[in-house]
Structure 1
Amino acid sequence: MAVFVPNILANNFLPIIRALQAKGARAIKLILLPGMDGTGKLFEPILASLPSNLDAQVITLSSLQGNDIKSQAEEVARLIGKQEVIIFAESYSGSIAYELAQFESVNIKHIVFAASFLSRPSYFSKFGAITPLFILRLNLVPSFILSWLFFGSLKRNDQVKLFKQALKLVPNSTLKARLKIIASLTEPEKQIKVPCTYIQATKDKLVNPESITVFQRLCVNLKTERVIGGHFIAQSNPKKCAEVVSEASGL
C-alpha cells in the first residue's frame, strides 16, 4: 500500500503545485512600439488578443523627448533597463527597434517587426513631408478608401474610426516631422544578432514588398510570417499577430 502513496500524493497535489508555480512565475515583458502616429491607441485590438502571461507595455513616441530615431532608441533603452524583453515594433518604429538591437546593454529576447521598414518604404515616401494631412483631418477621404488603403479591406469601419481617433491626438507638425524622418531613411549596414520575426502584411499598400530584403540581409536569425491584412497589420489581424508574439516569447 505504501508503494502507491507517492503517486496518490502526486495526483492530488500536482495541480496545486503547478498553480503555485504559475502564480510565482515572472511574466514575460513585451514592449510595444507604435507606428507613425506614436500614440499607442491603435494597439487596442492586439492588446485585447495577447495572452495574460505577457506583461505588455506600450511606450508611446509622444512620451519621448528625442526627435530622431537614434535618440528615441536611447530613451527607450533607458526605460527598458536591464530586464529581458520582447519588442513588437510597428511600421515606423522598426528603425527604433533596429537601433535598440545594437545596444549591448538592452536584453532583447526577440524582436517582432510588424510591416516595418529600415529604409524608405516606397518611392512616394520620399515626398512624405509634403503630404496634405488636412485632407485626412477634414474627413475628405471616404472611410472605405482609408479602409482599403490601411487595412486591406473596404469594410473595416471600426479600425478606420480607431485610426481617426489616434490621428486627433497628434499635431500635424509631429506627423510631418516623422514623415520627414521616413523620407530620409537609408539602408543600414550593421547586422542584428537578436532573433527576429518579420510580419509581412499581404495587402500592404504603403510598404514595398521588397523592403523585407533589408531584414533578410541584416537579421542573422530571421523568421518571416505572411499575415493577411493591410499595412496596419496589428489592427487588420490582431489575433494572428498575437499568435506570432506568443510564439516568439516561447509560450
Structure 2
Amino acid sequence: MVTLVLLPGMDGTGRLFDDFRATLWPGAAAMVIRYPPAQALDYAALETLVLSQLPKDAPYVLLGESFSGPIAVAIAARGAPNCVGLILCCSFVRNPRPALAWLRPLLARAPLHLAPLGLLSRLLLGPRSSAAQHAAVAGAVAEVAPHVMRARMLSVLSLDATEPLGRVALPLLYLRAGRDRVVPRSAAALVARLNGRTQIVEIDGPHCLLQTFPATAVSAIYPFIRQIEAALETAGPA
C-alpha cells in the first residue's frame, strides 16, 4: 500500500487536512507532516525536516499543498526509492504573483498580526465556505508566530524551484482550482511546461481546495494512486 504524505499550506499546522483525511477512501494510508509554528525555517530547512519524517521502508506519494509544493518537488527530484509519485495542489515552483515582488520591503516590516484575517480567509476559501471552515483557517493561522508567517511569505517571493521540477521522473498530478484567487492558472501551466509527466485536473473551487471540496479532490487523487499501486504490484519486489 502506498502512503499519502501531506505537506501543509503556509500555516504549516496540518490542521486544515482534517476533513480531507476523513474523506479518503477506506483503508487509505495517510500521514501529515507539520512545521514548527515558532521557528522561521526557509525552504531548504523545511525540506530537511520533511526528509527526516518520511516513511523509511514503504512507498509514498508526496502531496504538496500551496506553499509546500516546492518542498515536495525538491524531494521528488532527489529520486528517493520510496517516493513513487508527486501531487501538487494549487501550488507553484516560482513566485506565482511576480508583479507583487515590489512588496518585499514592505512585507519585511508589516505588522502581520494586524492583517484583516476575515478578508484573507474569504480569499482562500471562496464565497460559498462555511463559518466552520473560516474558524478552522483562523485557528490554524493563530497557531503560527507572525515572524514565521512573514518568513514563509518572503520565501515564496524569491522562490525558484524550476530546475528540480524538470528532474522529477515520477507520475505527477496537479490539482488546479478553477476559482483560485491566490495562485493563477499560469502556475499550473508552468509546471506542465517544465515537466511533461504532469497531469492537470481542474476542480471548480477556491484556493483551499482540499478544505472546501475534499470529496472531489479525493476522486481525482484515488485513481492516480491506484495506478501507481498497480504499477508497483506489476513490477514486484525490487
TM over 0.5: yes
Change (3 A) 1:126 1:34: farther
* Runs of at least 5 residues in structure 2 that lack an aligned partner in the other structure: 228-238
Q: Name the Cα RMSD after superposition.
A: 2.3
Deviations 1:215-234 (A, max 9, x none): 11222311111012111111
CA distance in 2, matches of 1:155, 1:46: 15
Which of 44, 53, 68 lines up with 2:18 in the alignment?
Answer: 44
1:241 aligned residue: 217
Q: State the TM-score, normalizing by the size of structure 2.
A: 0.84
Aligned to 1:115: 90
Give the alignment's TM-score, normalised by structure 1.
Answer: 0.80
Query: 3-state DSSP class of the match of 2:179?
Result: coil
Matched-pair contact (CA < 8 Å) for 2:70–2:161? no
List aligned pairs for 1:54-69, cutoff 5 A: 54-62=28-36, 67-69=41-43
1:1-251 to 2 correspondences below 5 Å: 27-62=1-36, 67-80=41-54, 81-122=56-97, 123-124=99-100, 127=103, 129-130=107-108, 132-136=111-115, 140=116, 143=118, 145-186=119-160, 188-190=162-164, 191=166, 192-250=168-226
Q: Secondary structure at the match of 1:37?
A: coil
Contact kept? 2:17, 2:210, Cα under 8 Å? yes
Secondary structure of 2:84's counterpart equals: strand
Preserved CA contact (<8 Å) 1:147 1:157: no
Q: Percent identity?
A: 25
Give every structure 1 segment of 4 or more consecutive aligned residues whose post-TM-superposition deviation is greater than 6 Å.
63-66
C-alpha spacing 1:249/1:185, structure 2 compared with 1 (3 Å): same
**Does 31-40 or 149-158 show the bigger shift?**
149-158
Higher relative contact order (CA 8 A, sep 6+): 2
Which amino acid in 1 is paired with 2:33? I
C-alpha displacement at 1:69, in angstroms? 1.6
Alignment deviations for residues 117-163 of structure 1 (CA, whole Å, 9 cap, x no partner)? 11001122662634542234xxx55x4x4454111225432211100
Q: Which residue identity lines up with residue 134 of structure 1 in the other structure?
A: H
Q: Distance in 1 between matches of 2:219 and 2:36?
A: 28
- 2: distance between equivalents of 1:64 and 1:169? 9
Measured in 2, the distance between the counterparts of 1:216 and 1:239 equals 24
Q: CA deviation at 1:209?
A: 1.4
Q: Summarize the Cα distance change of 1:197–1:170 in structure 2 as closer, same or farther, 3 Å threshold.
A: same
CA distance in 1, matches of 2:133, 2:101: 23
Larger radius of gyration: 1
Tell me by how many angstroms 1:65 deviates. Answer: 7.4
Deviations 1:85-132 (A, max 9, x none): 011110000000110012123422221111001100112266263454
In 2, Cα distance between the equivalents of 1:202 and 1:153?
14
Tell me, which stretches of 5 or more residues in structure 1 are unaligned? 1-26
Which SS does the other structure have where 1:30 is aligned? strand
